[in-house]
Structure 1
Amino acid sequence: MLRTVNRVLLGLAGLVLVCGGGAVLAAGTGLAVPSWWPWRGKGDVLLSVADRNRWRGEGWWWPTVIAVLAVVVVLALWWLLAQARRARLAEVLVDSGDGEGALLRGRALEGAVAAEAGALEGVAHAQVALTGRRSAPRARIALLMEPHAAPDEVLGRFTDETLAHARDSAGLAELPAEVRLRAVGHRAERVS
């Protein structure tokens, strides 16, 4: 949900910036712009001399504008870095017994857990994502269950078998997991 909202807001912000920048560029180059647009020609400016001088006598005005713009820039950079960071774990550190350790690709472990979970009776589909640090991974699992499946049995078998196999094969002391169960959409069965 948050990912969808993030993408919609990013798309709207991009659309507003492209449309606004294009309209200012069109007015600046002398192209035809709508009658309601505030800047119509090459000589128009964003802030007129009167607008710029209106607050010049107030000592708080320009420091406030600069501080607000600095906060906006810092927030925009923080948001950009938050978008660029990876949500998934790229590799897991496996204790190989020689003191060096080995690296296991996160996608490989995710695929193995998803395949084994998908083979469980009552599971239609499984998705796995590893997060956290490479020395202390965490798993987020989404299990799509068949209509006839019992959630407690599926969760018990997943925890006792699939998650235990993943933890043991990676040599991890623990592998905390968040499991979300959903049922496959299906039509109601008729009772005769």
Structure 2
Amino acid sequence: MPIRNMILTGLFAALLAVGSQVSIPLGPVPHTLQVFFVMLAGVILGSRWAVASVAVWILLGCFGLPVFAQGKAGVAVLAGPTGGFLVGFMVCAYLVGLMTERAQLTVWRAVGAMLAGLVTAYVLGLVGFMASFKYFLHKPMTWDKAISLAVLPFIPFDVIKSVMAAYIGVKVRRALLRAGYIN
């Protein structure tokens, strides 16, 4: 394991922790910068190390550090309304990394990879959101209501963050590749 990759993995876990604290509450799922840093990690680190950075962030939160949105921490967060989104972020980071590390990297390909990753995160997050309400809060809801609460308010912001992450990520990845800091 190259030390540079481990350092970048820790850096992105820290960026996720900081980005989680930039929070605008919009219902049960807050609006944060998490999506931006998950996408950025995927483009810059590649699939394996991006998943590692998201996993480190989740583990830090599970061990009690207040790294999740609104300063939340603990394993119980995984069973709450946002737990599915946390798992979705890991899959999203992997997909974005996989789709961008194998192709000739352009901003538009990165945007496409990020939108595919975003859909995956939304699907997994929505399933976790509904399961949390049904099994833990004992307040089942319809798909329509869950989508209107946990997905629709976030689509415009997350698409903008994805495009920004694609642009920045492609530029940073190219610079790191030229400098020999990543493979």
Q: TM-score per shorter chain, which class?
A: under 0.3
Normalized per residue, the structure richer in strand is: 1
Whose helix proportion is higher, 1 or 2? 2
- Larger Rg belongs to: 1
**Structure with more contact order per residue of length (Cα contacts < 8 Å, sep ≥ 6):** 2
